[in-house]
């Protein structure tokens, strides 16, 4: 079977934007609009520091951005929950068993996200720039003199990063739609389980095939409540997805309004789809003996038959990657942010994926250090792209916000490996191979854009097709 194509438009960083972590105008990242993307290419991208939000894929400029974002992953099968993570699992179990909130010894998380940050967030009109989570993270950072051990609820605060990209993505999509891009691109389309310390607290896992479109439940006769998890494709053509769409969307709306203080008008269906339902990833079977479907999914948390939370996840060749998580604020006392991370690690094992990717680790922001608490974790070096155990990275990060984690000088510099003869371009409705001659036909700006793409994507450019659009290169960027 041939690999699905990956078609992207490169969107280089222009000027620094205001950062949600440090409040400075110093956040920088490059981006790509992914028209189509194979799961294999996306896996390669996230292993080089990229992440996606809807169809927008971005990468912080690590040595220049004010708050460097390091890709973090946890080896799922070796996951060792901390005391506080176990406490959360226990709290949820006790709630299911006894049916009261009483059991949580920690308090809910809803107040982890301060209300007053909302306006700043709205004002942030350039969400491309990854570093700028919301100002709320900032306020959280500022306040963060409290102990780092209570992780409950912090997870969703971070996942909020994506919310900020909404405006930028909306603009990009409009621009591309205007150009009739989606039409043009169509031409191209042919081409288990050890639970360690948690075993008593979580329901047992099913096999990978049972997981899709089925549910794993916790709660029996002796339980007051029943919690089920259901994994469905995040595909708007999918019947299951359509069936649960409205119910899921209602939870999203409540979450954005209550936890992030979004005005109701901002929580429209279109935004929700663009941001959490659209994906450039093509579904593909993983192959092998325990084959699973790779691509974008939603995992529903269903309490007594009602969706109370949804995890947006990518299942990729080597990992499960967390995209977003939203929940009904009425259940914030269950610390669902932390609970979902634990369940996603469990899912990762069930699906036979080795790693759980939590997105970015931001050492410069204390509040964002909680991700380092899912042991054993590793950070990706921004130059060699080798992985290093987080314990070994911390001393480097304490010294310097930008670090490569490398001792040998040659590993501290990015190597260039792009074979130009393998670069494919999509230009004026046709696919062609790159040549110097072609480069010369472009405007200065067009050339600079293409060179930037080669420079930033390096050898990954051999696996993607880049859209060259003179008009776009020439036009003034916002
Ligand atoms: Zn910053």
Residue 87 has pLDDT above 70, yes or no: yes
Of 191 and 236, the one with more pLDDT = 236
What φ, ψ does residue 50 adopt, rounded to 5°?
-90, 160
Would you place residue 37 in the very low, low, confident or very high pLDDT band (cuts 50, 70, 90)? very high
3-class state of residue 460 by DSSP? helix
Residue 277 has pLDDT above 70, yes or no: yes
**Dist. CA 19 → ligand 1 center (Å):** 4
Residue 95 has pLDDT above 60, yes or no: yes
**Dist. CA 167 → ligand 1 center (Å):** 20
Would you place residue 335 in the very low, low, confident or very high pLDDT band (cuts 50, 70, 90)? very high
**Dist. CA 133 → ligand 1 center (Å):** 9
Convert the pLDDT of each residue in 377-432 to its tens digit.
Answer: 999 999 999 999 999 999 999 999 999 999 999 999 988 899 999 999 999 889 99
**Dist. CA 69 → ligand 1 center (Å):** 10
The domains of the chain are located at 7-191+193-380
**Dist. CA 68 → ligand 1 center (Å):** 8
Residue 185 has pLDDT above 60, yes or no: no
Give the residue among 24, 45, 158, 23 at the shortest CA–CA distance from 463.
Answer: 45
Rounded mean pLDDT, 164-175:
64
3-class state of residue 376 by DSSP? coil
Would you place residue 190 in the very low, low, confident or very high pLDDT band (cuts 50, 70, 90)? very low
Would you place residue 237 in the very low, low, confident or very high pLDDT band (cuts 50, 70, 90)? very high
Mean residue pLDDT of the chain comes to 80
Residue 146 has pLDDT above 60, yes or no: no
Q: Which residues surround ligand 1, an ion (CB under 5 A)?
A: 19, 21-22, 66-67
**Dist. CA 86 → ligand 1 center (Å):** 32
**Dist. CA 66 → ligand 1 center (Å):** 4
Cα first-last separation, the chain: 41
**Dist. CA 124 → ligand 1 center (Å):** 14
Residue 446 has pLDDT above 90, yes or no: yes
pLDDT given at position 199: 61
In this prediction the pTM is: 0.82
Residues 6+ apart with CB under 8 A from 313: 296, 297, 298, 299, 320, 321, 322, 323, 344, 347
**Dist. CA 372 → ligand 1 center (Å):** 19
High-pLDDT (> 70) share of the chain, %: 74
**Dist. CA 303 → ligand 1 center (Å):** 39
**Dist. CA 363 → ligand 1 center (Å):** 11
Convert the pLDDT of each residue in 242-258 to its tens digit.
Answer: 999 999 999 999 999 99
């Amino acid at each position: 079977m041939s690999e699905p194509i990956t078609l992207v438009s490169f969107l280089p960083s222009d000027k620094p934007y205001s950062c949600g972590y440090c409040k400075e105008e110093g956040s920088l990242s490059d981006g790509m609009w992914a028209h189509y993307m194979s799961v294999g290419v996306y896996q390669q991208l996230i292993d080089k520091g990229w992440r996606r939000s809807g169809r927008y894929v971005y990468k912080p400029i690590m040595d220049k951005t004010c708050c460097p974002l390091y890709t973090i992953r946890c080896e799922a099968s070796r996951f060792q929950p901390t005391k506080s993570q176990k406490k959360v699992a226990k709290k949820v179990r006790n709630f299911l068993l006894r049916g009261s909130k009483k059991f949580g010894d920690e308090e809910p998380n809803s107040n982890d996200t301060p209300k007053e940050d909302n306006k700043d967030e709205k004002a942030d009109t350039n969400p491309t720039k990854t570093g700028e989570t919301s100002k709320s993270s900032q306020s959280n950072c500022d306040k963060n003199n409290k102990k780092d051990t209570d992780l409950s609820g912090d997870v969703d605060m971070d996942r909020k990063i994506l919310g900020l990209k909404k405006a930028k993505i909306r603009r990009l999509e409009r621009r591309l739609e205007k150009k009739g891009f989606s039409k043009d691109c169509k031409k191209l389309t042919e081409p288990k389980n050890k639970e360690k310390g948690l075993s008593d607290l979580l329901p047992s896992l099913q096999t990978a095939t049972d997981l899709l479109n089925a549910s794993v439940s916790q709660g029996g006769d002796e339980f007051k409540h029943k919690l089920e998890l259901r994994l469905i494709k995040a595909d708007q053509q999918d019947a299951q997805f359509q069936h649960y769409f409205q119910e899921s969307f209602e939870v999203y709306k409540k979450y954005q309004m209550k936890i992030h203080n979004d005005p109701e008008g901002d929580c429209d269906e279109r935004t929700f789809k663009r941001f959490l339902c659209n994906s450039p990833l093509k579904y593909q079977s993983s192959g092998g003996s325990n084959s699973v479907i790779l691509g974008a999914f939603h995992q529903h948390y269903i309490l007594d038959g009602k969706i109370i939370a949804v995890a947006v996840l990518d299942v990729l060749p080597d990992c499960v990657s967390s995209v977003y998580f939203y929940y009904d604020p009425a259940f914030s006392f269950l610390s669902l942010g932390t609970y979902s991370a634990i369940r996603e690690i469990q899912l990762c094992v069930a699906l036979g994926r080795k790693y759980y990717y939590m997105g970015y680790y931001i050492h410069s922001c204390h509040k964002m250090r909680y991700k380092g608490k899912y042991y054993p974790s590793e950070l990706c070096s921004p130059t060699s792209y080798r992985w290093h155990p987080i314990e070994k990275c911390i001393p480097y990060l304490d010294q310097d916000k930008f670090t490569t984690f490398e001792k040998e000088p040659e590993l501290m510099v990015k190597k260039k490996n792009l074979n130009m003869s393998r670069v494919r371009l999509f230009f004026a409705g046709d696919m062609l191979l790159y040549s110097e001659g072609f480069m010369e036909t472009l405007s200065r700006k067009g050339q600079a854009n293409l060179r930037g793409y080669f420079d930033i994507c390096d050898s990954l450019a051999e696996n993607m097709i880049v859209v060259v659009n003179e008009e776009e290169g020439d036009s003034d960027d916002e």
